[in-house]
C-alpha cells in the first residue's frame, strides 16, 4: 500500500512540470507577438510623417541665407540699414559744410600766392576739408621747429578757423627717406612732432585746444610715388583737416564731392 502511494506521488510530481513548461511557452509566444506588433510599421502613417518632415526641412533651407562658396563664415553678416535723416538734419549738415568752406576760403585768400605756387592745396573728402601745406614752407629738413614764414601762414589759417567750432586734426606726413637722429629715431617721430608743433601754434593763435588733435603718419600715406624727388617733396607735408562732416553723417553714407576743388 505504501509503495503504491509513493508511485502515484512520483507520477503526479513528474507530470507537473509540463504545466509550467506550457505556461512558459505561452508567455514566450505572447512576448514575440507583442514585439512583432511594436516593430510593425504602418506604411500609410510612415509616408505621411516622412512627407511632413521633408517639407519642413525644405522650407527651413529655403528661408536660410545661402553662404558663399568657400566662405569660412558660419553666420551670415547682418546688413545695417542706414538711418533716414530728416530734411532739417540734411539742411543743418549742408549749412555746416558751407560754413566750413567759407572759412577755409577766407584763410586761403590771405595765402593766394602760395596757393598759386602749389605750396598750399585744399581738397574736400568724406570727413571734411583738408588744407595741405608743403613741409618745406614750415620746417627745415629733418627739423620740427616752425620757421617765421610758417608762423605767418598758420596764424592766417587760425584767424579764419577761429570763427567756427569744427574739430581740427593736424596730420604729419613724410617721405620714405630713412632718418635717425638724436631727436628722431624714425619718420614716425618726426611727423608726429611736426604735427604737434603746428597744433600748438594754432592753439596759441586762438583756437580752442579741445578742437585740436595731432597725429603722425610717417611715410605710410604718400600722395605720390617716393621714387622721384618731386614725389618725395610732395609727400613731405602737414595736413590740417577741418572736420565739417559729423561722424554720424559719415556712417550714413552722406554723399560728398569726390573731387578736390582748389580754393
CATH of the domain at 158: 3.30.1330.60
pLDDT above 90 as % of the chain: 40
**Closest alpha carbon to 103 in 138, 128, 135:** 128
Higher pLDDT, 132 or 26: 132
Cell numbers standing for residue 164: 567756427
Per DSSP, helices labelled H in 134-237 are: 148-161, 187-204, 229-235
Residues 18 and 139 placed together within one structural domain of the fold: no
Identify which of 209, 202, 237, 203 has the alpha carbon closest to the alpha carbon of residue 223. Answer: 237
Nearest to 214 by CA among 226, 235, 198: 198
> Are residues 124 and 187 both part of a single domain?
yes
For the cut 50, the answer to whether the pLDDT of residue 263 exceeds it is no
User: For 27-31, 203-207, 234-238, which range has the lowest pLDDT when averaged over its residues?
Assistant: 27-31
Which of 198, 177, 193 is CA-nearest to residue 143? 193
Mean local confidence (pLDDT), 4-33: 67
**What pLDDT does 81 receive?**
56
What range defines the domain where residue 52 resides?
A: 2-63
Q: Is the pLDDT of residue 253 over 50?
A: no
| pLDDT score of 234 | 93
Q: Is 63 a residue whose pLDDT tops 80?
A: no
Note whether 101 and 223 are same-domain residues: yes
**DSSP reduced 3-state for 149:** helix
- The number of distinct structural domains making up the chain is 2
Average the pLDDT over 173-184 and give the result: 90
| pLDDT tens figures, 166-175 | 999 999 999 9
What pTM was computed for the model?
A: 0.61
Distance from first CA to last CA of the chain, Å, rounded? 144
Whether 67 has a pLDDT exceeding 70, the answer reads no
Residues 170, 110, single domain; the answer is: yes
Instruction: Kindly state whether residue 259 falls inside one of the protein's structural domains.
Output: no
Residue 68: inside a domain: no
Q: Is residue 77 part of a domain?
A: no
Same-domain status, 50 and 116: no
- The reply to whether 223 and 175 lie within a common domain is yes
Q: What is the DSSP letter of 128?
A: -
Q: Are 123 and 211 within one domain? A: yes
Instruction: Report, as an integer, the average pLDDT of 235-243.
Output: 95
- Statement: residue 224 has pLDDT above 90: yes
92, 41: one domain: no
pLDDT tier at 258, thresholds 50, 70, 90: very low
**What is the pLDDT averaged over residues 190-200?**
96
**In which element (H, E) is residue 55 found?**
helix 43-63
Amino acid at each position: 500500500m505504501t509503495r503504491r502511494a509513493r508511485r502515484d506521488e512520483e507520477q503526479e510530481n513528474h507530470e507537473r512540470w509540463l504545466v509550467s513548461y506550457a505556461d512558459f511557452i505561452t508567455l514566450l509566444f505572447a512576448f514575440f507577438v507583442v514585439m512583432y506588433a511594436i516593430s510593425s510599421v504602418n506604411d500609410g502613417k510612415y509616408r505621411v510623417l516622412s512627407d511632413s518632415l521633408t517639407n519642413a526641412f525644405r522650407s527651413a533651407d529655403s528661408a536660410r541665407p545661402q553662404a558663399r562658396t568657400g566662405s569660412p563664415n558660419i553666420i551670415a553678416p547682418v546688413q545695417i540699414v542706414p538711418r533716414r535723416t530728416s530734411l532739417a538734419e540734411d539742411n543743418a549738415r549742408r549749412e555746416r559744410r558751407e560754413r566750413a568752406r567759407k572759412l577755409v576760403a577766407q584763410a586761403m585768400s590771405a595765402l593766394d600766392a602760395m596757393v598759386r605756387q602749389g605750396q598750399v592745396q585744399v581738397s574736400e573728402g568724406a570727413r571734411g576739408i583738408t588744407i595741405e601745406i608743403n613741409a618745406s614752407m614750415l620746417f627745415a629738413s629733418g627739423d620740427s621747429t616752425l620757421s617765421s614764414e610758417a608762423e605767418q601762414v598758420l596764424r592766417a589759417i587760425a584767424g579764419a578757423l577761429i570763427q567756427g567750432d569744427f574739430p581740427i586734426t593736424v596730420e604729419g606726413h613724410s617721405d620714405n627717406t630713412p632718418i635717425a637722429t638724436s631727436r628722431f629715431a624714425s619718420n614716425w617721430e618726426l611727423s608726429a612732432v611736426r604735427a604737434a608743433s603746428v597744433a600748438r601754434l594754432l592753439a596759441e593763435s586762438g583756437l580752442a585746444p579741445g578742437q585740436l588733435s595731432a597725429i603722425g603718419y610717417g611715410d605710410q600715406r604718400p600722395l605720390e610715388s617716393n621714387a622721384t624727388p618731386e614725389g618725395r617733396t610732395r609727400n613731405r607735408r602737414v595736413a590740417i583737416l577741418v572736420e565739417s562732416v559729423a561722424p554720424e553723417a559719415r556712417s550714413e553714407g552722406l554723399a560728398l564731392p569726390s573731387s578736390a576743388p582748389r580754393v
